[in-house]
Chain A
Amino acid sequence: MPNLENQIAAWRESMAGKVPAETIEELEAHLRETIQNHLRRKATESEAFQLALAQLGSVPQLAGEFQKVENNLWWPVKAAAVGGSFLALLSLFFVIAFLTSRPAGGLLATHVFAVTVGYVSVLLMGGIAVCAVGQRAFSELSASQSRSVSKAFFRFGVIASAFTAVAIALGMIWAKISWGSSWSWDLKEIGGLSVLLWSIFFLGAQRTRSVSFHGLVLYGLTGNIIVALAWFAPTTFGLGNYNPGDYIAMSLIILPSLIALGAGLLPAAWLSKKFTAE
């Protein structure tokens, strides 16, 4: 017959991954108090456990209820998720269309797709960071908004790191085949490497909690600048075909990011006073 601790451990295991670890700890504390209550009424350990479990609710029922709370996303995060998915699908469509007409260009097309997804992910993080700084001018972000932003930062950060790393690797293979050298420290390569390092440092800072939430928001804004330079500076400054649109795109990303960075460095109380004063 399983003892009480084993039964609780099995229950904890069944909850793992369905709700956050802290919530499991909170529910376990509740479960234990209910069990103690039943034990005081002379129930056996097994009976007390079953009764307490019935009172607490089934695992799917609990997980479903917590899911409703967890899925409460801040609107800029929702917009970034929807916009990002749409852009990724659109890029994929172009890659497939390109491969249909030129099957030999698969390596380059996949490289371009990976670069696009990686860089856009960083830009979406930067976009969310701009909204977070904007919101701060009126009131501090609520706990749910901050949590929502942190989750989005992590997910987009992982996508950015993975896709940029793949893009760099494919770019190196393509360069070796086409030009005989896999790395030549040109502006595009340096840009790609900068974005990769930026996203790895971002994830590291977030996971180790070595930077505050506001610090991560400001760091997120710098991602916009890095990507804008990595993407558009090479053509603007003479590498590849010059396109005046690139200069405009670069300015349109960098300028608002610098303004937001400046606003983000101002004290929240002063900002809020300025924007909410009648």
Chain B
Amino acid sequence: MKTTILLFAALLIPRSAAAEDPNSETVFRALVDEMKRTVSRLEMEKLGKPYFVAYTAMDSKRLSISSSFGGIKDPHLSRSRHLKVELRVGDRKFDNTHYAGKDYWGYRPHSGGLVTDADYDAIRYGIWQITDRAYKEALERLSQKKAYKQSKMIKEEIPDLSKEPVRVSEEPVGEVPFERKLWEKRLRKLSAVFKKYPAIQRSYVNLYWTQRRHYFVDSEGRRVLKPKHDFELVIGASTQAKDGMRLSDRRDFIRRRLEDMPPFSLLEAEVTKFAEDLSNLTTAPLLEDDYIGPMLLEGQAAGEFFNQLLAHNIAFPREIWVQEEHARKEFHTGGLTGRLGLRVVSRFLSAEDDPGLKSFEGIPLLGHYRIDDEGVPAQRVALIEKGILKDLLMSRAPTKKRANSTGHGRGAHWEFPTAHISNLVISSNKTMPLSELKDELRKQAREFGLDFGVVIRRLRPENAQEKNELLAAPVMVFKVDVKTGKETLMRNAKFSGVTLRALRDIVATSAKRHVYNYYQLGPYKASGRGQVQASIVHPSVLVAEMELKKSDKKPDKLPYLKHPHFN
């Protein structure tokens, strides 16, 4: 009851930050007024009013600059206001959500642009249009979903929307002026690094600097104002090996705020390292024979290993129904979420997900937030203890085993919120310095009867996975001689036969842990859409047994003329 009283006070009297900013105040007023009209009067032919409506308006200012070989390409500053409407008909127990039907690509909330001015009438006019479409589609979907449930004889009843306490929250939006000239200068300098590398055919350094303000209201009385900033610097390059084989790689630096970026000198060193690595790959020998044996995954490679195998499978616990069986794989349900109480990783590993953590050993964590995209306060979840899955990350979509949200309901602005990881922190009880881990790799490879073991230092991201792959191909793969420890870079390797068992085959980890800041993809397998900011804190890992095989990609002809800069 207390919350309800607080809530009404908050709706009538706009609080500090919004009150100071007339634009925010106007947006909230338009959202709340149209939402009230929607829940009280929006009804077509006695088919029922919406029982729940949530509006998310996103104000976005974005600076994007591309650069290549020392020059700037299409710098662009844009501004927009966008509305997402989540509207539910039916009731908490059974509504129009979690059902995609045959509409795989259209399974997303209704959304559209709003005016960017602080114009109450014009904003409400836009909200009305999008809400009307959302309502009609919700009715259609609910009747299709009922028919689906009957035709598939589904008896089990899992509710569609959990009950959660109502909170009102405002965070400072902390916007700063864009330093466009400065970053153009820096990008020219960073992209010019490639002028020293004749082996690279294409290269770019791009900046995407976005400052967003999220306004969230729902018909249960939640109201949230929060920033969602994003500063992304992407280094990418592609080329061909001497035999014509295509090679490419990219590196992202993603932070919430500009001031969290590494110093410029470090960025410059990273570009140099990146260009060197890719150049070295062009002359690296091919993996000749398939490999089965121990594998050491270091740094980013271990981060992607945990992302693609663990994070992707402990997120998305709620199944989305689809009309046709073959489409089920387009909507991923976390492969480990049905294994509560079972061992999912090696016995000496534990993991928690803590959105409240801002940094780890001084490095900012991208997955930090206070309130999720459904207006639920973020909670720390002790996910895995001594290898056993103890809990699940939850949004407001209940599952068979859990009824309530843990404040992990997030999604890209164009998507339904769903349970994502935030800061997934992995800890280990069986650690050693990295050099000893490498010795251990050689020892285990020798026991396997092998002449060499394998170290992987970079993996391609999740969206580079090929069909039916659980783990995308490695980029930087090294043979390690069991006798001498000498490393040889190899190319043309991809994983084979990877299953979630690899997580239980981890035999030791490094003591040092890394921070992997990245975008976790949504559960939509085919499109890879719906990414959210996330972090994994993880050690490097030694896996007892993994397989590599030769890629079957065919090479392309080399460019006819030589690189003009080095001719």
- Do the two chains bind? no
